[in-house]
Amino acid sequence: MPRNYFGTDGIRGRTNQSPMTAEIAMKVGQAAGAHFLRGKHRHRVVIGKDTRLSGYMMESALTAGFTSVGMDVTLVGPMPTPAVAMLTRSMRADLGVMISASHNPFADNGIKLFGPDGYKLSDESEAAIEAAIERAPALAESAEIGRARRVDDAQGRYIHFAKSTFPEDLRLDGMRIVLDCANGAAYRVAPSALWELGAELIALGVAPDGTNINEKCGSTDPGAMQAKVLETRADIGLALDGDADRLIVVDERGQIVDGDQLMALIGVAQARRGLLRGGGVVATVMSNLGLERKLAAEGLGMIRTAVGDRNVLEAMRSGGYNVGGEQSGHIILSDHATTGDGLVAGLQVLAELVESGKRASQLLHQFDPLPQLLQNVRFTGGAPLEVDKVKRAIADAEARLAGSGRLVIRKSGTEPLIRVMAEGEDEKLVREVVDEICEAVRKAA
């Protein structure tokens, strides 16, 4: 059934354009609030946001929607997405909301919803809320309208939680860390957590102005962090994205370490300690074949899902896994969190680094990845992947890669992009097939 509002990760779009308008945000608050009004207790929703200029508008509109149907609102301000999920559980709230478009530019924004268990909503709940958006809301009686208040110690609660995932007998004393917070949601909590653990910290992306989130910084653009690591002779660099649910690492040589390498590191370490559940790791179709081979060599399995941390988490829950993630840096450690958490994942990496006594370049490059190339093609309308010439180009590429590689082509669930990825033993062939498909898509688009 086609959706008008919800995509692969909540509701997302350009602000002041449907569906990311104040009017629709208020309706989402009314619909989601009414959906979670269950029982006779005072109902509560926790609302967090990143640092986008439009966050003020969306926060106010959602608050109006929730309070109008009788739900109390707890505002926690700029906080990582995983912090909102955690606070929803710890505060015994009925619902959690994160206002963020993650790694997208500042002009975009989004609404992510969490149930009382801290997990993202099921397809059924999203469908019910979407249907209710189009109906007139059942407004509360005057005396039953909800109240709104801000919680001042929410950041401290999350910092304490994140630090609790770091081994108690370890510290970060003497370790020089470059931390890039993408001018986003973690710009206060992440530096505080690392500093309290003893790190010598060099912080980047900690001066948000409403429009600079993810701009030439963060996990999607780690160039500044790479340069700073080399300049300061740091031991490691950690980069979060706008809502801090993903992590990209840079070793002391300035080399990028992606989510695949981090999953290999954490998965193998957990297995060595007897803590890995499910007998392996959950990844997506975008993860490098090198990860699969590394895990197999350690006697561990790997299952692949469709792209999206939500799909990864569903497979983890159904299969009993506790480590999963995406190449892009969404690392889900279900022993600690109900969603990807860049800071928590970073702390596990740092713990392995401290315990091993090795340099980041020695420890973090767990396997040699196969040549892999991903290119994005932006389109403005229509369905480029349904055009005959594009279909033929894809079929030709699959035939050329048969037996020596693989091809993954998909439409982004969060942006108007066609993503084309090829992987194989022959780097030249990989580049050729990606270029040919992208050219066909550009012409069709």
Q: How large is the angle between the packed helices 189-196 and 342-356, nearest 10 degrees?
A: 20
Max CA separation in the chain (angstroms): 69
* Amino acid identity, position 97: V
Task: Please say whether the beta carbons of 37 and 70 come within 8 A.
Answer: yes
Q: Which two tokens stand for residue 293?
A: 């081979």
Which residues are within 8 A (CB) of 371 and not within 5 positions of it... i.e. 6 or more apart?
A: 423, 424, 425, 426, 427, 430
Task: Please say whether the beta carbons of 283 and 302 come within 8 A.
Answer: yes
Which residues are within 8 A (CB) of 124 and not within 5 positions of it... i.e. 6 or more apart?
A: none
Residue 437: name the closest of 400, 402, 392 by CA. 392
Residue appearing with tokens 């996990």:
219
- Report the C-alpha gap between 74 and 82 in whole angstroms: 16
- DSSP letter assigned to residue 276: -
- Report the C-alpha gap between 372 and 390 in whole angstroms: 21
Task: Please say whether the beta carbons of 85 and 96 come within 8 A.
Answer: yes
Task: Please say whether the beta carbons of 248 and 256 come within 8 A.
Answer: yes
Catalytic residue among 102, 287, 328, 334: 102
- DSSP letter assigned to residue 254: S
- Report the C-alpha gap between 62 and 237 in whole angstroms: 36
Q: Which H/E stretch holds residue 248?
A: strand 247-251
Start-to-end CA distance of the chain, whole Å, equals 25
- Report the C-alpha gap between 37 and 303 in whole angstroms: 37
- Give catalytic status of residue 356 as yes or no: no
- Report the C-alpha gap between 271 and 166 in whole angstroms: 17
- Please report the DSSP string for 290-310 in residue order: HHHHHHHHTT-EEEEE-SSHH
Catalytic residues: 102
